[in-house]
Structure 1
């Protein structure tokens, strides 16, 4: 099935009474990529990197209307951050928060300053994270995007899953709320500050704390 420069291979299956629209996409139209996403359909996709996470956010907001947004990302580009700011200024995004990895300020000091200037420290938290997710919600929607995409363009294969599922949403929302409640505001790079909070975010009381080991020997050497 071909839509201009967008190629989509899709298959629908039934999972927990929701239909899953699975597709492989080569093209720049994120609106078309999620055209079947609604409260009854989840979308799972592989892309060639022709559109970015900010494009998916924009496309989802077209369906939900004005909403609150939380983004968790390991990296962020200035263009995508600028687009996010425009979504806020245009009134399409109400409340906005962003979660960044502790290394971000070390890797991109000037970007970190720009992000704090745009969104203010109280809307930013830093932790030990490589998790990429977006929460988009209002009175009618509870959307969660899980993706390999950071908040920047990457011309490589990327994956994404989009659900309007309250259980999935609450898992990521409760984590975000706890992080914002416990962690110091702003872009923090101090391991001492970040690790202290990070260690409280995951309850392992029901699980063995012993690190898993594998019963095999692996000997190697470099000649």
Structure 2
């Protein structure tokens, strides 16, 4: 049986969950740093911090402050673009050289290459196509984890660079949320061959199509429709 995405819409969102009593939500518009916000709100094991800021720090500053708590860790960074953040990319590369970040995987949008091809090529040369997937994405998040049991998810409205606008930053040491996000990252990496997303829009579209196809199949099974042999995706 053939299903069209316009008829049966795939839902690959995270599962709902109860609001945690270990969450702190704050507004900080007086020049606070990422490190000071995490400290004053007691970030740590099993803790979650949500903040609205005035753009006084970048997503890389946020990750940097989180690694002070976590210690050496592996990372995933998803961002719409890294084009305006050469200095921030320098910092990430330095973290890897210092074993602050033990490994780093990236998810970026196809438009990154279209808008800034020279910077995108330098980005690929630094981190390697094996560590990068290109998708139709506007999501900005990071995953940080290590063998000591840290499983941190960081969600932001910001790209890597600092931007003098109201921005949203979040961090949670939450194994369940981490597992769901990590599974999605694994699906994206499995859906695309090395470098293919940089070569064409069709290659970049593979990741989102794979997520939708998986969600449609799971939904069909859940609702007793049966496993779909083919899914039409636009």
Unaligned stretches of 5+ residues in structure 1: 1-14, 210-223
Higher relative contact order (CA 8 A, sep 6+): 2
Aligned residue for 1:29?
33
For residues 199 and 41 of structure 1, the distance between their equivalents in structure 2, rounded to whole angstroms, comes to: 34
1:192 aligns with 2:202: yes
- In proportion to residue count, which structure has more helix? 2
Runs of 4+ more than 6 Å apart? none
For residues 72 and 66 of structure 2, the distance between their equivalents in structure 1, rounded to whole angstroms, comes to: 10
TM-score (norm 2): 0.78
- In proportion to residue count, which structure has more strand? 1
Unaligned stretches of 5+ residues in structure 2: 1-17, 224-230
Structure 1, 153-162 or 24-33: larger mean CA deviation: 24-33
For residues 46 and 112 of structure 2, the distance between their equivalents in structure 1, rounded to whole angstroms, comes to: 37
For residues 58 and 194 of structure 1, the distance between their equivalents in structure 2, rounded to whole angstroms, comes to: 29
TM-score (norm 1): 0.82
Q: 1:128 aligns with which of 129, 136, 139?
A: 136
1:18 positional shift: 4.0
For residues 75 and 154 of structure 1, the distance between their equivalents in structure 2, rounded to whole angstroms, comes to: 13
Aligned residue for 1:204?
216
For residues 52 and 177 of structure 2, the distance between their equivalents in structure 1, rounded to whole angstroms, comes to: 20
Q: CA RMSD in A?
A: 1.8
Q: Structure 1's 121 and 39: CA in aligned 2 closer, same or farther, altered over 3 A? A: same
